[in-house]
Amino acid sequence: MRVLIAHNFYRQPGGEDQVFAAECALLKAHGHAVREYVVHNDDLHRLGHMGMAAATLWNQRVYRELGRIVRDESIEVAHFHNTFPLMSPSAYFAARANGAAVVQTLHNYRLICPAATLFRDGKLCEKCIGRAPWPAVVHGCYRGSRPTTTAAAAMLGVHRAAGTYVEAVDRYIALTEFARGKFVAGGLPADQIVIKPNFVPNDPKPGTGAGGYAIYVGRLAMEKGIETMLEAWRLLGGRIALKIIGDGLMRPMVEQASRDIPGVQWLGRLPMDQVLHHLGGASMLVFPSIWYEGQPRTMVESFAMGTPIVASKLGSMIEMIDDGRTGRHFSPGDPSALARTVGELWQHPEQLASMRPHARLEYENHYSADKNHQMLMGIYADAMRRHQERMHPAPTTMPATISQDCPGT
């Protein structure tokens, strides 16, 4: 299959970038002809507010470039990971006009929330779901800026009104059933959204969990529940070691906690092989997010290593973890509940040990590379079929010459 994979990189590297790279590699490994098309937010400084707003709404340069690639290379499927802000929805039209089916992975909530997070001022926020996204403008939800939020809201408003998100995309990929429900509530057609989770590119083989510590892997950001986790470890009083891997805005707080709270160790940002090594040696992964996660790769990687997960009972984390079998849930944002749940598991190592094979099986059944390739091929086939139906719709009435010869017509 001839596939174009397109992605707008943010300035700060993240999970979407990793998924983009992993899916490109997966398709190439299975013999598909893959054409990558990328833009980068490092170019934003050249545009200014007005230029960014215009490019976000419709990037004519991208429309021309991407259209030429699709046409000249006979692309069958154009798969987009992120188009915001520089690629713009013009990319969908360029692909579609030149013969390619269009697939969009919904890594975040951008199409129903200008900030992409459904999270504001430390709390969940759904005010823009299913309505014009102007509450986000009032609050400056995207990067704390009303001008940039206005650009994002205008893009959503204009393209919703134009029917872009219904007519120009053949298949959407949601990462979880929970996320799919939010997008349907936000106006995307239910029959165009399919579920395909993230995956671990290369099977790392399960770890032993013999390291005698809990672990956190991810961005050090407020919405990730860092304060909840650190307070829980303060309550645990040094009984359980905690390794923290990652970096972000809350780095100073984590660095201070590593000095003040017994057992807390901050390791910074590490390469993937070291991350997996530490994950495999951990007794449990702690995932204390207080927002609607998309579908965290860290949790998938933890399952691959056979490491149980203690996570907030919230959003997609509810469906990803089978409580008591592959991990445990606790009340989001509640340090006492987290400390109690971790403490109970620590006192019953046989429970943790019994969860490890089930966590690994979760990876094998849902998150392996081979499984993901099978799902992706099915989605591409559906998208191509829908694209053909749209370009060449079946007649809605019988031609007169036929109807005259058909009894009962």
For each of the domains in the chain, give its residue range(s) and CATH number, in order of start: 2-107+163-199+379-391 (3.40.50.2000), 213-366 (3.40.50.2000)
Low-confidence ranges of the chain (pLDDT < 70): 45, 394-409
Q: What is the pLDDT of residue 170?
A: 98
pTM of the shown model:
0.92
The DSSP secondary structure of 142-159, one letter per residue, reads: TTT-HHHHHHHHHHHHHH
Query: How far is the C-alpha of 386 from the C-alpha of 77, rounded, in Å?
Result: 12
Please answer whether residues 375 and 199 qualify as being in contact, where contact means their C-beta atoms are separated by less than 8 angstroms.
no
Give me 119's structure tokens: 């999270």
Q: Report pLDDT digits (tens) over 212-256.
A: 999 999 999 999 999 999 999 999 999 999 999 999 999 999 999
Q: Tell me how crowded residue 392 is: count the other CB atoms within 10 A of its CB.
A: 7
Q: What digits encode the pLDDT tens for the residues 306-345?
A: 999 999 999 999 999 999 999 999 999 999 999 999 999 9
Give dist(CA 245, CA 267) in Å, integer. Answer: 5
Residue 12: the pLDDT is 80
In 3D space, the residue among 75, 79, 70 whose CA is nearest the CA of residue 23 turns out to be 79
pLDDT recorded at residue 405: 43
The alpha-carbon radius of gyration of the chain (Å, integer) is 23
Strand ordering across the sheet containing 284-287: 264-268, 241-245, 213-217, 284-287, 309-312, 327-330
Start-to-end C-alpha separation, the chain: 43
pLDDT for 51 equals: 81
The answer for 225, left when phi > 0, alpha when psi is -120 to 50, beta otherwise, is left
Question: Cα–chain-centroid distance for residue 51?
Answer: 28
Contact (Cβ atoms closer than 8 angstroms) between residue 206 and residue 186: no
The closest alpha carbon to 150, from 108, 115, 124, belongs to 115
Residue 396 pLDDT: 54
